[in-house]
Amino acid sequence: MLKKLFFNWKMNPTSPNEASSLFAEFVSLAQSQPQISLVVLPPYVYLSELNQQLQTFGVTNLKLGAQDLARHSAGAYTGQISGQMLKNMGCQYVLIGHSETREAYQLSHEQINQKLLQSLESGLVPILCVGHQSDKTITEINYPELSEQVTTALQNLPPEFKTEFYLAYEPVWAIGTGKTATNSIIEEVSQFLKQELAKLGLAKQVGILYGGSVDDVSIQELVKLQQVDGFLIGGASLKPEKFKTIAQVVANQV
């Protein structure tokens, strides 16, 4: 199956016009590569307008997602955005526990778990990000930490939980640094994550993603990964020439 591509715009771009022009590039990419599934994760404030843009063009292989959601469904939580609000804005996906979000809000495992449960309750497909926060180099893999991140986030799931969801492996040292993990490390970690998911009875519906400096150059090697179902792309998602090359390389890998 072709690898799915998730584009995290982070806190970019600065204006609605720029957001709309950038999104138009994704629409044209989706139209020219109908076999590839694309998900764009813009800042909250652009969701409504981009959803309208999406409806106008009627492309079915491009979807919207959000970069975070509140731990609660409604109420006195100033500054927070609920899963249901996101759903009503046309979102189908939501990132949970991105390392930048974990760091900015000092999120506990319990809080990540609450966000995950909220995403399911609202009918959003979660993309749970995990990565070894404590490791500083390419060769160290902190398996106990990865295991803890996965098992604590996936506690108390509803028994009927059968929906698709994604687990994104993002080593913190690889995010925005231009350094990617080697394919052998990514395969090894993906295998480990699948075993952890199997212990929780969740192996079947989970897609494994890799994120961390995926760009038009690193994709040439990363696309060969067998255990990985897609990529989470940050910086390169703001550069049309880069994300179009990424999509082309993925499309060629049939």
Q: Residue numbers of the site for ligand PGA (CB under 6 A)?
A: 8, 170, 175-176, 211-214, 232-236
- Residue 82 to residue 73: CA distance in whole angstroms: 6
Out of 100, 132, 170, 196, which one is annotated catalytic? Answer: 170
Q: Based on CB atoms, which residue is closest to ligand PGA, 107 or 175?
A: 175
Contact criterion met (CB below 8 Å) for 116 and 153: yes
**Residue matched to tokens 């890998």:** 253
Amino acid at 38: L
Nearest-approach distance from CB 92 to ligand PGA, in angstroms: 18
Nearest-approach distance from CB 177 to ligand PGA, in angstroms: 7
Nearest-approach distance from CB 213 to ligand PGA, in angstroms: 4
Q: Based on CB atoms, which residue is closest to ligand PGA, 138 or 157?
A: 138
How many Cα atoms are found within 13 Å in the side-chain-facing hemisphere of 47?
22
Asked about 188 being catalytic, the answer comes back as no
Number of neighbouring beta carbons within 10 Å of residue 100: 19
Question: Helix or strand or coil: residue 173?
Answer: helix
Q: Which helix (H) or strand (E) segment is 233 a member of?
A: strand 230-233
Q: How far is CA 17 from CA 12, 13, 58, 93, 242, in A?
A: 12, 9, 20, 23, 20
Number of neighbouring beta carbons within 10 Å of residue 139: 8
Q: Based on CB atoms, which residue is closest to ligand PGA, 27 or 174?
A: 174
Instruction: Quickly list DSSP for 2-57.
Output: PPEEEEE--S--SSHHHHHHHHHHHHHHHHH-TTS-EEEE--GGGHHHHHHHHHHH
Q: Based on CB atoms, which residue is closest to ligand PGA, 117 or 236?
A: 236
Q: Based on CB atoms, which residue is closest to ligand PGA, 223 or 232?
A: 232
Out of 98, 100, 132, 196, which one is annotated catalytic? Answer: 98
**Residue matched to tokens 């192996």:** 203
- Residue 123 to residue 87: CA distance in whole angstroms: 7
Nearest-approach distance from CB 243 to ligand PGA, in angstroms: 10
**Residue matched to tokens 């995403």:** 119
Asked about 170 being catalytic, the answer comes back as yes
Q: Which two tokens stand for residue 120?
A: 């399911």
The residues annotated as belonging to the active site are 98, 170
